[in-house]
């Protein structure tokens, strides 16, 4: 009798053993053993912790070319065309002075002793950022903010305002209609306002009039300024550049890497385009904890370690409640009713249990140990500083 066939067209294991005998049984045993070993290896691969990889970043995220930077610009201007929401010239006399100076430049001379009282004009400060390699004729975005007591700049127009750099030279000229991301209305003593009305922007509202020279095409070398002072990062950047370009870079200190570049301007730009995209393997950062005393935020990086220590933290609360008290005079006493207040003050102190924090070598263990205290972020500000003073916290604390 022919044994039944499986869905794949082969005989089932039982029929195979019937034909092969002991040899078939031995082969099945070896097959089951190999399947079990493969299953164990696959399970171990899934659960075995993978080695941590070093952080990788490009040179452009770590450094910038020395001398190639933005330059802030600023200027004092006037916004006109406001719907009665401008400066009150009696409280902001510089607005009237600026308006008179502008009128004189246009050939309009006011009689002596006459003061302009215009509610449709506001004095503003105009700021912009001049990017590197900006050339005359290129547009810039500008920000406009009121420096007087104008209620709103919505619907206003900025007249021609020169923008100067730190050296006092004019580098751009701004003018245009403001975009204010807000709205407001007031009537009968009531006021409704959405967002901020005393500041706005003018997209491409300035035109570059003068370029700023850069040292990019000067000399045989350039310098890369690292974003943070770290000797290991400087060495890693120089090592990555030398591996790709052949020994042209050297780390001068923890902040500056000097690179020898081609003399041809086109080849120099191509060289910089190549090195700024090179990957750099970063070393572990210095352990640091950043505390924000205003918001209570606590940020730790992965290098923070915690030594074994014991912490007890309690809370002290003071509650003050006032109750109105009325003293009523007796009948026909011609006295006056007197109202006073009775204040009750209660002080509550909660004892904190002594909690032992084990040593933590990983960020997850440090967080777990701090969570065991059950403290709020505001309490952690004091606890972390106390642990640091006790010598059990291996990290630098920075308060912002």
DSSP-derived letter for residue 217 is G
Residue 209 token pair: 């009039």
Owner of token pair 């080849």: 267
Average pLDDT of the residues in 302-325: 72
**Residue 34: its pLDDT value, please?**
62
Average pLDDT of the residues in 265-281: 92
Asked which of 86-100, 267-281, 340-354 is least confident by mean pLDDT, the reply is: 340-354
Most confident of 164-173, 193-202, 377-386: 164-173
**Residue 286: its pLDDT value, please?**
82
**Residue 47: its pLDDT value, please?**
39
Topology (CATH level 3) of domain 215-281: Gyrase A; domain 2 (3.30.1360)
Q: For the chain, how many helices (H) and strands (E)?
A: 8, 23
Most confident of 125-134, 293-302, 383-392: 125-134
Instruction: Give every CB contact of residue 24 below 8 A, 6+ residues apart in sequence.
Output: 16, 17
**Residue 249: its pLDDT value, please?**
94
**Residue 48: its pLDDT value, please?**
41
Q: Which residues of 279-293 are buried (b: 16+ CB within 10 A; e: fewer)?
A: ebebeeeebebebee
On average, the pLDDT of the chain sits at 80
Q: Residue 330 and residue 390: Cα distance in Å, rounded?
A: 66
Provide the 3-class DSSP secondary structure of residue 230: coil
Q: Is the pLDDT of residue 395 over 90?
A: no
CA distances from 371 to 318, 357, 374, 384 (A): 26, 10, 5, 12
Q: Residue 254 and residue 243: Cα distance in Å, rounded?
A: 20
* β-pairing verdict for 249-251 and 139-146: unpaired
**Residue 106: its pLDDT value, please?**
85
**Residue 136: its pLDDT value, please?**
95
Residue among 354, 262, 281, 246 nearest 57 (CA): 281
Q: Is the pLDDT of residue 111 over 90?
A: no
Most confident of 86-90, 115-119, 158-162: 158-162
**Chain segment 138-161, per-residue pLDDT in tens:** 999 999 999 988 888 998 999 999
Q: What is the pTM of this model?
A: 0.66
Average pLDDT of the residues in 11-25: 46
Q: Is the pLDDT of residue 13 over 70?
A: no
Residue among 359, 352, 396 nearest 376 (CA): 352
* β-pairing verdict for 288-292 and 396-399: parallel
* β-pairing verdict for 199-208 and 221-226: unpaired
Choice between 263 and 118, residue whose per-residue pLDDT is larger: 263
Q: Is the pLDDT of residue 361 over 70?
A: no
**Residue 320: its pLDDT value, please?**
60
Q: Residue 115 and residue 297: Cα distance in Å, rounded?
A: 52
**Chain segment 167-191, per-residue pLDDT in tens:** 999 999 999 999 998 777 666 667 7
Q: Is the pLDDT of residue 203 over 80?
A: yes
Q: Is the pLDDT of residue 128 over 70?
A: yes
172, 212 Cβ separation under 8 angstroms: no
Boundaries of every domain in the chain: 71-104+115-183+193-208, 215-281, 288-319+343-399
- In this structure, how many other beta carbons lie within 10 angstroms of the beta carbon of residue 238? 21
Average pLDDT of the residues in 117-122: 85
**Residue 12: its pLDDT value, please?**
44
**Residue 337: its pLDDT value, please?**
78
- In this structure, how many other beta carbons lie within 10 angstroms of the beta carbon of residue 129? 13
């Amino acid at each position: 009798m022919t044994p039944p066939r499986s869905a794949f067209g082969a005989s089932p294991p039982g029929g195979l053993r019937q034909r092969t005998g002991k040899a078939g049984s031995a082969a099945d045993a070896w097959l089951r053993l190999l399947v079990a070993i493969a299953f164990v290896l696959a399970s171990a691969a899934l659960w075995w912790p993978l080695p941590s990889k070093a952080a990788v970043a490009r040179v452009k995220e770590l450094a910038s070319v020395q001398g190639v930077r933005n330059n802030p610009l600023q200027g004092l201007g006037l916004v006109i065309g406001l719907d009665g929401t401008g400066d009150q010239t009696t409280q902001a006399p510089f607005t009237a002075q600026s308006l008179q100076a502008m009128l004189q430049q246009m050939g309009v001379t006011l009689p002596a002793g006459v003061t302009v009282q215009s509610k449709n004009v506001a004095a503003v400060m105009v700021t912009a950022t001049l990017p590197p390699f900006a050339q005359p004729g290129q547009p810039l975005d500008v920000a406009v903010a009121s420096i007087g007591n104008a209620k709103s700049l919505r619907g206003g127009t900025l007249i021609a305002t020169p923008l100067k750099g730190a050296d006092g030279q004019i580098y751009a000229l701004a003018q245009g209609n403001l975009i204010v991301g807000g709205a407001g209305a007031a009537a009968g003593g009531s006021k409704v306002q959405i967002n901020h009305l005393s500041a706005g922007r003018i997209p491409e509202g300035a035109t570059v009039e003068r370029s700023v020279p850069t040292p990019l095409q000067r000399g045989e070398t350039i310098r890369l300024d690292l974003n943070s002072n770290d000797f290991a990062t400087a060495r890693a950047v120089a090592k990555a550049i030398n591996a790709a370009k052949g020994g042209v870079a050297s780390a001068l200190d923890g902040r500056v890497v000097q690179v020898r570049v081609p003399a041809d301007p086109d080849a120099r730009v191509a060289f910089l385009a190549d090195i700024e995209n090179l990957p750099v393997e970063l070393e572990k950062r210095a352990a640091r904890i950043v505390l924000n005393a205003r918001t209570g935020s606590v940020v730790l990086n992965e290098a923070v370690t915690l030594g074994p220590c014991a912490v007890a933290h309690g809370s002290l609360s003071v509650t003050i409640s006032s109750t109105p008290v009325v003293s009523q005079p007796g009948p026909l006493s011609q006295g006056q009713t007197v109202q006073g207040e009775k204040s009750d003050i209660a002080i509550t102190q909660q004892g904190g249990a002594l909690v032992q924090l084990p040593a933590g070598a990983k960020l997850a263990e440090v967080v777990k140990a701090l969570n065991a205290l059950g403290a709020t972020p505001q309490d952690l500000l004091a606890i972390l500083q106390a642990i640091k003073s006790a010598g059990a916290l291996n990290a630098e604390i920075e308060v912002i």
